[in-house]
Amino acid sequence: MPRRAPSRLLAFGLAAVLAAGSASGSDLHDLYFGEALFHADQGHYFDALQRLDTELGQYHGLDEPQYDSLHYHIGAAEFDVGDFELNYRMHHRAGRAIRAVLEGNVDPAVRNEAAFRLARIHFQKDQPEDALHALERIEGEVPDAIADEVEFLRANVYMALGRPADAVEVLADLQRSESLTGFAEYNLGIALLQDGRTPDAIEQLDRAGRVASGERGAEAIRDKANLILGTMLFEAADYQRAYESLDRVRLEGPFSNQALLRAGWAEVSAGNFERALVPWNILAKREVTDSAVQEALLAAPFAYGKLEIHGRAALMYGHALEAYTSELDRVDASIDSIRKGKFLKALLREELKQDRDWVIRLRTLPETPETYYLMALMASHDFQTALSNYLDLEDLRTRLVSWQTNFDAFEDMIELRKQNYDPLLPEVDADFRELDSQIRLRMEQREHLDKRLQGMLTAPRPDYLATADERIVSERLDEIERHLGNSTTPETQALQERVAHVRGALTWRLRTQYHERLTEAHTHLNELSVVIAAMTERYQSLVRTRQAATHSYVGYDVPINQLRRRVGEALQKVNLLMARQGHMLETVAINELKVRRERLDGYQTQARFAVADSYDRAARLQADMRPDGAQTGEVQPDETQPAGVQPGEGQQ
């Protein structure tokens, strides 16, 4: 079974992968199933679900589904529909089809895979007890492809259930799993931490932070391990190891900013102010909307101050002050713009949906302060959920509006068909009825002949096979005999003998030629059958065409009206939900931005104070260095941090 590389998985989702793996190339027996996979692989889960739901509905409605083309893929289809539902964030529905597989009469390997998938769905639905129950149904042989995944899921479920010791036991056995490189190591570290075994957790996270892998997901989790380990060591005042761990975080990864910030603080805590400047100066040049960058703007001049480079510190505080003021203006503009409803409109820009990096591009749009902080907002899970739901609702709204237009087009089409067929059909029907009666008559005659010939096979009747002339001769002879009556005159007797002679000759011929005639009759009957079959086919074709004509415009009023009503109701519901979801989105965004504003406000106050203080210190230092050598200034050696800034304050 072909599988994609793990890096692909993270980008495209498991469902599509498994689906594609389940039927590809020449293995595919059901084109519509393949079409569902085509949609799913592109992330079009609505279309994929609609296709697969229809296929599964038809399959389960059949009397003999084993003859349906979907039968070859039914296991994969039942699994995929659950995955598609999960990907489409329909957690309530997800799992129904898989549960049906689990309870059906299937191969143990299939049942085990179904149990695993069901457990995974429960886990994602935040139902760890149910997930564990599903995992407990796995018994006997587990397919190799999912064996490690099953155990990894079991460990995650234990952790979700607050049983870290059990998770540790399971994860310890997965440390050599290639497919779980990085993840098994990291989760073991977290499980140990949850189990209160901090020294073991530190050692394990250290191992997780050194895992060698070129795979994107594994690299990200390795960075995460190093970030957590660095923070733990920092809090334990082991600054050197903390720095080493934070230093292993990649400069371009998602955890880079936080790692740089904390690495700087680790150095400061160890008294290495100069070394702290290395990560902070890198950070200070990055995107200023990031909270770690904002903190670094204040932290870097603080380190310069500690190194008594007050002039540089004063300049950097000045730069930070400008940056905070500018950011505060932007936050205010963002909040204002969101309140005016521009944020939701910006999110629905059609051209941006075509681009995978649309969130990043949004920020670069001119004159759109409402989206400037979108990347930062995306870090919030609540915001992400609200945004995903909002975009899904917009997709549903677009579809519903388009369907409403379709109904009008359907009705126009039906009306045109009616106008075309209504005048034609009565005449066609009259011709059809005449033809129908003729065909029926011929078919009855054929049936009658067939029965008679069948009867003659067991009870020979040569007279039935007489030709028309012979039949006439026979009737003439009957008439002559009747005419001659019972007369016994010599002339009559002579005539009766002649009649008997002729009848004998006729009978002789009928009897001696009986078999040939019977064979010939059957041949003719078969020829007649061919003609009648052609007539029947034509007859059925006429019936179908007649029905198709009727079906093309009759009987649509009720379903169209019902669907139109349902679409209208659904559209109302979607509009209402969009308004609520949009409001929620705006509220979450504004709340997030307000928190940022408060923090920036604090930074601005600190920067304002610090810039004045630094200029003051720089001036005093300059005065101290005057040629008269008078020492008038005094540096505060015990100052360790800029006023009010605490390590990690900028963390979200």
Partner 1 sequence: MPGIFRTVALAVFVLASSLPARAVDNDREQMKGLDEQVQEVKSDVLGISAELSRLEEKLLYPSNTQVAVFIALAEGDAMRLDAVQVQIDGQLVAHYIYSFKELDALKHGGVQRIYAGNVTTGEHKIDVSVTGKLQGGADYNQAGSFAFQKGVEPKLVGLTLAGPDSGRPAIEIGDW
Residues 69-108 that bind partner 1 (CB under 8 A): 69, 86, 88-93
Question: Which stretch, 103-111, 216-224, 517-525, 611-619, contacts partner 1 (CB under 8 A)?
Answer: 216-224
Q: Tell me the chain's radius of gyration from C-alpha atoms.
A: 44
Return the residue matching tokens 């074709």: 541
Site string for partner 1, 187-206 (x = CB under 8 A): x--x----------------
State how far the alpha carbon of 204 is from the alpha carbons of 192, 227, 228, 487, in Å.
Answer: 8, 13, 12, 132
Among 97, 150, 393, 466, binds partner 1 (CB under 8 A): 393
By CB under 8 A, what part of segment 138-157 binds partner 1? Answer: 145-146, 149, 152-153, 156
How far apart are CB 339 and partner 1 at their closest, in Å?
A: 17
Instruction: Please tell me what DSSP assigns to residue 62.
Output: -
Binding of partner 1 at residue 646 (CB under 8 A)? no
Binding of partner 1 at residue 9 (CB under 8 A)? yes
- Token readout for 320 is 């930070």
Among 175, 552, 605, 641, binds partner 1 (CB under 8 A): 552
How far apart are CB 419 and partner 1 at their closest, in Å?
A: 16
Among 360, 413, 424, 533, binds partner 1 (CB under 8 A): 413
Instruction: Assess contact for 135 and 150: CB atoms under 8 A.
Output: yes
Binding of partner 1 at residue 111 (CB under 8 A)? no
Give the alpha-carbon dihedral of 196, 202, 205, 206, to 10 degrees: -170
Among 581, 604, 606, 614, binds partner 1 (CB under 8 A): 581
Among 14, 282, 502, 528, binds partner 1 (CB under 8 A): 14
Measured between alpha carbons, how far is 104 from 114 in angstroms, rounded to an integer? 11
How far apart are CB 356 and partner 1 at their closest, in Å?
A: 9
Binding of partner 1 at residue 518 (CB under 8 A)? no
**Based on CB atoms, which residue is closest to partner 1, 326 or 591?**
591
How far apart are CB 180 and partner 1 at their closest, in Å?
A: 6
Return the ∠ at Cα 546 (arms to 543 and 550), rounded to 5°: 135
3-class DSSP state of 373: coil
Measured between alpha carbons, how far is 499 from 468 in angstroms, rounded to an integer? 19
How far apart are CB 299 and partner 1 at their closest, in Å?
A: 20
Binding of partner 1 at residue 25 (CB under 8 A)? yes
Question: Which stretch, 19-27, 478-486, 627-635, 639-647, contacts partner 1 (CB under 8 A)?
Answer: 19-27
Instruction: Assess contact for 132 and 150: CB atoms under 8 A.
Output: no
Binding of partner 1 at residue 278 (CB under 8 A)? no
* Dihedral sign for Cα atoms in the order 563, 564, 570, 571: positive
Binding of partner 1 at residue 359 (CB under 8 A)? no
**Based on CB atoms, which residue is closest to partner 1, 285 or 381?**
381
Among 410, 464, 514, 615, binds partner 1 (CB under 8 A): 410
- Token readout for 249 is 């975080």
Q: What is the rounded end-to-end Cα distance, in angstroms, of the chain?
A: 43
Question: Which stretch, 118-126, 200-208, 302-310, 500-508, contacts partner 1 (CB under 8 A)?
Answer: 118-126
Binding of partner 1 at residue 176 (CB under 8 A)? no
Q: Is 207 exposed, middle or buried (0-12, 13-18, 19+ CB in 10 A)?
A: middle
Residues 6+ apart with CB under 8 A from 524: none
Give the alpha-carbon dihedral of 73, 74, 76, 81, to 10 degrees: 130
Binding of partner 1 at residue 123 (CB under 8 A)? yes
By CB under 8 A, what part of segment 217-256 binds partner 1? Answer: 217, 220-221, 224
**Based on CB atoms, which residue is closest to partner 1, 40 or 331?**
40
By CB under 8 A, what part of segment 435-494 binds partner 1? Answer: none
Binding of partner 1 at residue 382 (CB under 8 A)? yes
Among 74, 171, 277, 400, binds partner 1 (CB under 8 A): 400
Helices (H), 139-197: 144-160, 164-172, 183-194
Residues 6+ apart with CB under 8 A from 351: none
For partner 1 (CB under 8 A), the number of binding residues is: 108
Q: Is 577 exposed, middle or buried (0-12, 13-18, 19+ CB in 10 A)?
A: middle
Instruction: Assess contact for 363 and 375: CB atoms under 8 A.
Output: yes
